[in-house]
Amino acid sequence: MHKITLIFGDGIGPEITEAVKAVIAAAGVDILWDVQEVGQKALKAYGNPLPDAAIESIKANKIALKGPVTTQIGNGFKSINVTLRQTFDLYANIRPVKSLPGVKTPFTGIDMVIFRENTEDLYAGIENVINEDRVEAIKLITRKASHRIAEKAFEYARQNNRKKVTAIHKANIMKKADGLFLEEVRKTADKYSDIAYDELIVDNACMKLVQQPQKFDVIVTENLYGDIISDLCAGLVGGLGVVPGMNVGEDCMIFEAVHGSAPDIAGKNIANPLALLMSAVEMLKAIGETEAADSIQSAIYKLLEEGKCLTPDLGGSATTSEVAQELCRLVAN
């Protein structure tokens, strides 16, 4: 039996998380879910959006599945996602982006993996109010963080028979900060002579991504660029509802849907559970449940290919519950 921290999240989080639990159970995986509250519900219940109990649970189990958590804009508590990544030093945000059967988009044949440094850059949250008319945000780039995300990307490429790693940066303008990042990536590339390596300035990379995304294989980049690029790439294959996400550290992993909590459709039973389920597939692979992971992945592909039981965001009229039931049937068969 696996013991895994489970965070339902806010908004549509509880609905899609219940759906994912059902599909995992149908695949025959024995999991003891250690349920923890974070976000708005935790703030109301405990006066803290990230209670100590949730931190201790993840620390003990070393693996968590997390539904989307609301991040307030401009005020309110600090992003739970950022706080968790910094608390557990989850330095690698990894997003596979792949064309899917039955999902019509302008492109086919996309198959890339984005490695985003997850702990620093502008997301370190170092902001100083100079006066009422001026605020400064500090972009933090360190040699250590740059080196280990580069190592993670190249090692993944080697282990998964990937052919090329592309570093994305803005070192033409931020010569010292992004220059340091590139310096460490280049050092790493020298050690992986079997993997092709190239570099792109971030604005040029965005143009190329929407012209010929099939030419990209593994991308490694800093936190802010990675956040933007990974959502852009999700749009190329059907949106955030069909892309998994994982945050990986040295001894802890959190798997999560990359989309938001969508409070406008919460409680309506129409949310798409596939992104969280795809993240759960990656989680199952990580804990050695490869047969179940493959079974669920096949069920997802069949569901999309048939196109008969899809939520409204994918052009269908099915409910979250109906999608979960159909996936359970496909997994069982």
Q: From the candidates 10, 34, 178, 227, which is the catalytic residue?
A: 227
Gap between the terminal Cα atoms of the chain:
23
Q: From the candidates 3, 203, 208, 268, which is the catalytic residue?
A: 203
Residue 324: other Cβ atoms inside 10 A = 23
170 is catalytic: yes
Q: From the candidates 91, 123, 197, 225, which is the catalytic residue?
A: 123
Residue 73: other Cβ atoms inside 10 A = 6
Give dist(CA 76, CA 174) in Å, integer.
31
**Residue 165's beta-bridge partner residues?**
197, 218
- Helical (H) or strand (E) element with 136: strand 134-137
123 is catalytic: yes
Q: Where are the alpha helices (DSSP H) in the chain?
A: 13-26, 40-46, 52-61, 80-87, 143-159, 177-191, 202-209, 223-236, 274-286, 290-306, 320-332
164 is catalytic: no
DSSP output for 233-293: HHHHTT-GGG-EEEEE-SS-EEEEESS---GGGTTSS----HHHHHHHHHHHHHTT-HHHH
227 is catalytic: yes
Residue 92: other Cβ atoms inside 10 A = 24
Q: From the candidates 170, 178, 225, 313, which is the catalytic residue?
A: 170
Q: Name which of 326, 315, 323, 332 is nearest 105 in CA terms.
A: 315
Catalytic sites, residue numbers = 123, 170, 203, 227
